[in-house]
Amino acid sequence: MPHTIAVIAREVWDTRDLTGQILDEAGGLRPGALQTRFDPEDLNALELALRIKDAHGARVVAVGLGAPRQVEVLRECLYRGADAAVTATGDLAAADTAAHARRLAGAVRSLGRVDLLLVGTAVPDDDNSLLARHLAAELGWPAVSWVDAIEELAVDRVVARRAVEMGYEYVETPLPAVLAVGVALLEDDPRAPRPAKAMLKLKMKKAEIPTVPATDEPAPLTLRVRREAVPPRAIETATVDPENEAALRAMLDAALKGA
């Protein structure tokens, strides 16, 4: 029986090529100033899952969290060849990684038998690279970090490869297991995760994504998070004539005094 692989797919702020003002005067995020994108490391995790599917045959299920902002990451997973997608709901505004993990673990459990849970290592949002660890704790499964490739996959175990200083480490673990996928997956050509498949995109563009509601017993928050914005620092600038020694000296004095 082929493996079932769940992959976490997160939508994160796109912090590349930032231009213009993204923060308002109070230091908060200006609505609409930032776009979102498919978390690039989760995309790597999806790519690894789809490579396993190509090589061994597997059922790949993408698992998302919360309502989409701009990018429909779960549908994007379907376009690339994932077999199904589910999203976990719940009030997530104030939740931390542990609470996210609890909700996601609930969604993974709802899928029935799952052999592997893949997740990107670090994400630009609220990043503490601990989601995989929290998921493993919630599910009671072993976890391997910084996985670059799957060396061997059997019915009941997996050997994962990861790069370490001066070489590679091969970690064997029984299934089910959580694997946090590193960034070295795409070192060989192709250097980018696979794109969408055109026919699948036509077929799946209206696919319903089932939601997994929060379980009856709400997960207790393990941490309370309060956010406080740091107001942007005002910087005064001045230009002095580089030929004018007195002016230069005065500027240096002022700077040193300020320090």
Interface residues with another protein (CB under 8 A) are: 40, 76, 79, 189-192, 194-202, 205
- Which C-beta is closer to another protein: that of 199 or that of 234? 199
Q: Residue 57: left if φ>0, alpha if ψ -120 to 50, beta else—which one?
A: left
Which uninterrupted H or E stretch holds 246? Answer: helix 245-258
**DSSP assignment string, 208-228:** ---EEPPPSSPPPPSS-----
Nearest to 72 by CA among 123, 37, 118: 37
- Which C-beta is closer to another protein: that of 90 or that of 120? 120
Least distance CB 46 / another protein (angstroms): 13
Least distance CB 70 / another protein (angstroms): 13
Least distance CB 195 / another protein (angstroms): 3
- Which C-beta is closer to another protein: that of 61 or that of 204? 204
Give the 3-state secondary structure of residue 185. helix
Q: What single-letter amino acid sits at 29?
A: L
- Which C-beta is closer to another protein: that of 23 or that of 184? 184
Least distance CB 244 / another protein (angstroms): 22
Sheet containing strand 58-65, edge to edge, reads 143-147, 177-181, 116-120, 3-8, 58-65, 84-88, 211-212
Cβ atoms of 11 and 71 within 8 Å: the answer is: yes
Least distance CB 187 / another protein (angstroms): 12
- Which C-beta is closer to another protein: that of 196 or that of 247? 196
Give the tokens for residue 220.
Answer: 């207790």
d(CA 6, CA 119): 9
- Placement of tokens 């503490």 in the chain: 128
Least distance CB 56 / another protein (angstroms): 17
- Which C-beta is closer to another protein: that of 99 or that of 123? 123
